[in-house]
Amino acid sequence: MKELLLEILKYYGLKEYFGNKHNPEIIKMFHDIGYDWVNNDETAWCSAAMNYFCKKLGLQRSGKLDARSWLRLPIEVTEPELGDIVILWRNNPNDWTGHVGLFISDDNDRIYVLGGNQDNAITIKPFYKNRVLGYRKTEPI
């Protein structure tokens, strides 16, 4: 969804604080989606950011902090378009870890993803296509 893409872009560059301080905007994302126990910006927050922005816009969301939870959204996509949700594996294609963001574009062997917790910030970053677990669309609830 293009409106989701535009909303996340408003926060482009938002990043974690290093040391004992924590970015209150990132902590707010956790709290606004019901994870009040998270009070630091070191907790993996890619899915928290996606859930926060989807909730803010009244869109379907996973409601979970694990990136792979986004694979449960019902609208699967085989040919992603700008702004579709992309879910990737992080450490191993068969474990529970992952990453989630929005599809921006691709080239021969990489996709470009806009998301949170990419180098500790909201950025656009390349990932190898072989790490993609799936693409999804979200819709209004």
pLDDT tens readout for residues 17-38 = 999 999 999 999 999 999 999 9
> Token match 């899915």: residue?
47
Structure tokens at 23: 């970015």
Read off the tokens for 40.
């630091």
State the pLDDT at residue 1. 64
Q: What are phi and psi of 121, to 5 degrees?
A: -155, 170
Pick from 131, 125, 53, 72: nearest CA to 98: 131
User: What six digits make up the tokens of 16?
Assistant: 């974690």
Report the alpha-carbon angle 127-129-133, nearest 5: 100
Given this model, what pLDDT does residue 2 score?
87
